[in-house]
Amino acid sequence: MKSNPLLLSALALAALLNTTSLSAATNPATIVSSTVSASNSLRVNTESSTMTWTAKKVGGEHTGTIKLADGALEVKGNKLTGGNFTIDMTTIVDTDITRPESNKRLTDHLKSDDFFSVEKHPTSTFRITKVVPKAKAKAGEANYTITGNLTIKGITNSITFPATVKIAGKTAEATALIEVDRTKYDIKYRSGLVGTAADKIIYDTFTIDLKLMAGVTNESVGSR
């Protein structure tokens, strides 16, 4: 019997395709390894990272600090792709009042239900939902626009702000000046919205001067 060259070629091709398919199925890492290895979660160093708040009122202002509990920046190559952090609200302090009694009075007030209700809500969180690189950003200028969900006192609102991000190998640094409208988080003490006398108003917005320092961990984003 004569062999059919077309039939033999078809059978050979089918065998080759089947072998390739089996190889991929038994070793899926060959397909996804390039994607997984390209993304990393850089854990925030809470000791070297800083958060400084500033709140203004008629005739003056106060400033202080809050510590981070944890966080991570997600990067792919030299690009920021996401991130999150948790704020330890129990660490909020004032740094501009030098008299111990007056300083403690303000700090305790900030932790009360008039402001951050720290006993009921000991942490606040922020999670990035959108990252937009800024084209042609000059050195030292903000090179990203960040959008994310900020949760304070169990209330979540979306906020957007410019940020400067530097990524070098397995480390990253992110800085931003974030403006927060406290009334959106049910913090209305001496707000103009509740009829406070003009000379006693505390402004509705306060700022957070944020600096995040992060380094690589053994966990990749793709393995979550």
Kindly report, residue by residue over 19-70, the tens digit of the pLDDT.
444 444 445 444 333 334 457 899 999 999 999 999 999 999 999 999 999 9
- Looking at domain 38-219, its CATH superfamily turns out to be Lipid/polyisoprenoid-binding, YceI-like (2.40.128.110)
Give the predicted TM-score (pTM) of the model: 0.79
Q: In the block, which residue shows the tokens 């330890």? A: 88
In this prediction, residue 5 carries a pLDDT of 53
Domain with CATH 2.40.128.110 in the chain: 38-219
In this prediction, residue 7 carries a pLDDT of 45
Specify whether the CB–CB gap between 92 and 103 falls below 8 A.
no
| Exposed/middle/buried for residue 173 (C-beta within 10 Å: 0-12, 13-18, 19+) | middle
DSSP string, 62-131: EEEEEEEEEEEEEEETTEEEEEEEEEEEEEEEESS--SHHHHHHHHHHHHSTTTT-TTT--EEEEEEEEE
Residues of the chain with pLDDT under 50: 6-17, 19-26, 28-37, 218-224
Strand partners, 20: none
In this prediction, residue 2 carries a pLDDT of 52
In this prediction, residue 4 carries a pLDDT of 53
